[in-house]
Every structure is written in structure tokens, then in C-alpha cells.
Amino acid sequence: MLEAKQLVKTFGDYTAVDQLSFAINDGQIMGLIGQNGAGKTTTFRLILDFLKADQGEVLWDGHKISEKEYNLIGYLPEERGLYPKVTIEDQLIYFARLRGKSKAEIVPKIDYWMDKFQVKGKKTDKVKSLSKGNQQKVQLIATLIHEPKLVILDEPFSGLDPVNAELLKNGIIELKEKGSCVIFSSHNMDNVEKICDHLIMLRDGATVLNGRVHEIRESFGRTKVFLESHLTKEQIVAIDGVEQVHLREDGSFDITINDPKVGRNIFALATADGYIPMFNQQPPTLEEIFKRKAGQIHE
């Protein structure tokens, strides 16, 4: 289990991380979100001991992470870094040996990982011959091939197309199933919402959201209604408590209300003549919550 307790990091008068606390159990995935400059990368560097905290501590299974235990960590930085003139195979062996693994342990695993992430190329190819997306996959393999117990991924989905992003999501879920702790940052709220057990949002270094994803969403109330019925946009807008109505391409409506109770009034009006194809009342999406919280000033 990874724990952060009351972490504080300042640079002069600027507070990059302010009283941050969280815990990730084995076999859990935590998403760290926030605007650029919110403190996400600084948090990762504090966990990895690249930076020293001004206050607080980071614990692994109840104790400070030892030098030997850092070999149990897989870290994918936002700034990618591979050796372009070195082959895929030699590169993966080199990075694994930095983590205490032998060549004999790693070589048999290279084909498996390249196949898993569908790397287009041979392991004897030099990295510079690969596309940008395939280079990113090789760096991800270098992060995971030593089978880390703690995985830290800084913007892992950046630059990936939907197919490769799905491969990465499946890889992260597999790590979870094998018992690893995973923490990653992302600006793609859909990815965060689909695979995270826990979520933290930072704003100017301070924690503004902390909890399980579905609980955070539900805390904002079920203020989104998706409706397909005979009602017109004008009829829906006229309902007291309706704030916004968006007509979708398929003819259904995306409705924002100011109180979950308003959903009952919409439902009653829409079903006055009986059957309707769709009525679905949901809390706001994580992306909508992100925009709302990121746009607020500190309370």
C-alpha cells in the first residue's frame, strides 16, 4: 500500500503541493487530475524521492521506501526519453537491469510485451525507426517489464490514438488484477472515469476532490437528464428548474437541471401519453465536474 501523509512542497513563495494525503491499496488504481501546474508531476517526484518534501512523508506498506524498494517501482515520466540509436531489445534490457533484473530474466519477456502492446517493428530495430506512437509503447514496456509493485504513469495516454489508448487501458487493468498499485495522471476524464477506483483532483497544489469516482459524481447530484420523447425543446425549456437543453443529432435531448427533483417533473410530462424510448437521469460527468472545479477560485 502506498500512503502520502500531509505532503507539502514549496518553491520560494510558491506552494506546489499543499497538505496532500491519500492511500492506494494493492490492486487499486488512482487517478490524479488537475490543470497544468496543479501539482501532479511534483507529487510524483515527491513519491519517487526526486524532490524532498518540506513537510509530510511517503510510506510503502507502512514504512519509508528503501533504496532497494525503488526497484519495485515503474515510472513513466511525461517527458519521454529513449535512446534513438539503440535497438528495442537492448534498450529494454538496459532499463530492466537498472531495476535489478538480469538479462536472462528479461529477454524471454520482450516478445510477450511487444505483442501485448502491438509494437510495429522487430526487437532488433533501432528506436529511431519507429513511429512516435510505437516509441511511446516501447517506453511503456520499459516501465512495466520488470513487473513493478507500484506503477506511476504521468500522462500515459498523451498522443495515443483510441485503439492504442484501449491497449494501454487494458494493460493498466491487468496490472491491477495482478495486485499492483497504479497511480496515473491524465487530462482525459473518460479514461479516468472508466478505470480508476479512486480519484484526487488538485488545484494550485490543494486537494479539491478526493474519493471514489462514483461517489464523487453522485455528490454533485443527478442533474443530467437524457431524454427521447415527443416533447419539443420549447416545452422542456419551459419546465421550472431546467437550465440548459441541447438537441442531439439523433433527436434526443441532453438536459441540465438545477435540482435532481426536477427530473420527476420532466418524466411526468414526457410520459403523460405513455411509452417513451428513453429517460436517463445521471450525475454530471467527470469532465463536467473537472471544468466546474477547475474554474472555481479557492473557497
pLDDT in tens, 253-295: 999 999 999 999 999 999 999 999 999 999 999 999 999 888 7
Range list for CATH 3.30.70 in the chain: 221-282
pLDDT of 43 over the 80 cut: yes
Rounded (5°) CA angle 221-17-172: 65
pLDDT, mean of residues 68-85: 86
Comparing CA positions, the residue from 49, 40, 5 lying closest to residue 153 is: 40
**How far is CA 65 from its chain centroid?**
24
H-assigned helices in 86-209: 88-98, 103-116, 132-144, 162-177, 189-195
For residue 296, name the pLDDT band (cuts at 50, 70, 90): low
pLDDT digits (tens, 9 = 90+) for 50-66: 999 999 999 999 999 98
The C-alpha atoms of residue 70 and residue 206 are separated, in whole angstroms, by 27
**Most confident by average pLDDT, 118-132, 133-147, 215-229:** 215-229
CATH number of 221-282: 3.30.70
Joined together, the cell numbers standing for residue 152 give: 506511476
pLDDT, tens digit (0-9, with 9 covering 90-100), for 174-183: 889 989 999 9
CB neighbours of residue 93 within 10 Å: 22
pLDDT at 57: 95
Q: How many percent of the chain have pLDDT more than 90?
A: 73
Residues in CB range of 263: below 8 A, 6 or more apart:
222, 225, 257, 281
pLDDT at 298 over 50: no
pLDDT digits (tens, 9 = 90+) for 11-35: 999 999 999 999 999 999 999 999 9
Alpha-carbon span 28 to 150, nearest angstrom: 10
DSSP state of 5: E
Q: Give the whole-angstrom CA distance, residue 190 versus residue 228.
A: 24
Average of per-residue pLDDT across 249-255: 95
Q: What is the pLDDT of residues 195-230, one digit of tens each?
A: 999 999 999 999 999 999 999 999 999 999 999 999
CATH topology of domain 2-218: Rossmann fold (3.40.50)
Task: Provide mean pLDDT across the span 32-47.
Answer: 94
Neighbours of 81 (CB within 10 A): 7
- Taking residues 148-163, report their average pLDDT: 89
**Cα(291)–Cα(299) distance, integer angstroms:** 16
Residue 138: pLDDT band by 50, 70, 90 thresholds? very high
Distance from C-alpha of 30 to C-alpha of 40, rounded to nearest angstrom: 12
Nearest to 14 by CA among 247, 205, 192, 239: 205
Whole-number pLDDT of residue 185:
94
The better pLDDT of the pair 188, 246 is held by 246
- The answer to whether residue 140 scores a pLDDT higher than 60 is yes
Strand partners, 284: none
> Where would I find the H helices in 178-285?
189-195, 213-219, 233-237, 262-270
pLDDT classification of 69: cutoffs 50, 70, 90: confident
Judge whether 223 and 205 are in contact, CB under 8 Å: no
The predicted model gives 63-72 an average pLDDT of 87
* Numbered ranges of CATH 3.40.50.300 in the chain: 2-218
The pLDDT of residue 154 is above 50: yes
